[in-house]
Amino acid sequence: MPMHMQGFELGRFRLKAGVQEAQLIAASRAMESRHLAHQDGFGSHHVVALGDGRYLDVVLATSQEAAERICASWLGQPDCEAFLALIEAESMEFGRIL
């Protein structure tokens, strides 16, 4: 039976000066495979280019609580820290899918 994703994290950000999109993609993939994929309740992770120099970071999880816990686990985790070092965060929101 497939897992139902009912929670999410939505973060808006810009790349830091001098960072290339290819670096962001590589860091995102490393973070997904080495950390996120091993977290309870994790569904998927997506980086979305908005076309105006801004990006969205989207984590889908089994619940809003799982999404919040997964994102809290980023701090101090080397692959997540490498991803975060590339971006200028604008906002982060959590919610549930109805």
For the cut 90, the answer to whether the pLDDT of residue 5 exceeds it is: no
Q: What span, in angstroms and rounded, lies between the C-alpha atoms of 3 and 61?
A: 9
What's the average model confidence in pLDDT over 6-29? 96
The structure tokens 């994290």 sit at 9
Per the CB < 8 A criterion, the answer to whether 75 and 53 are in contact is no
Give Cα separations from 54 to 4, 22, 42, 49, 85 (angstroms). 29, 15, 24, 6, 16
For residue range 32-80, what is the model confidence (pLDDT) as tens digits?
Answer: 999 999 999 999 999 999 989 999 999 999 999 999 999 999 999 999 9
Supply the pTM of this predicted model: 0.90
Number of Cβ within 10 Å of residue 21's Cβ equals 12
DSSP-assigned letters across all residues of 5-32: P-EEEEEEEEEPTT--HHHHHHHHHHHH
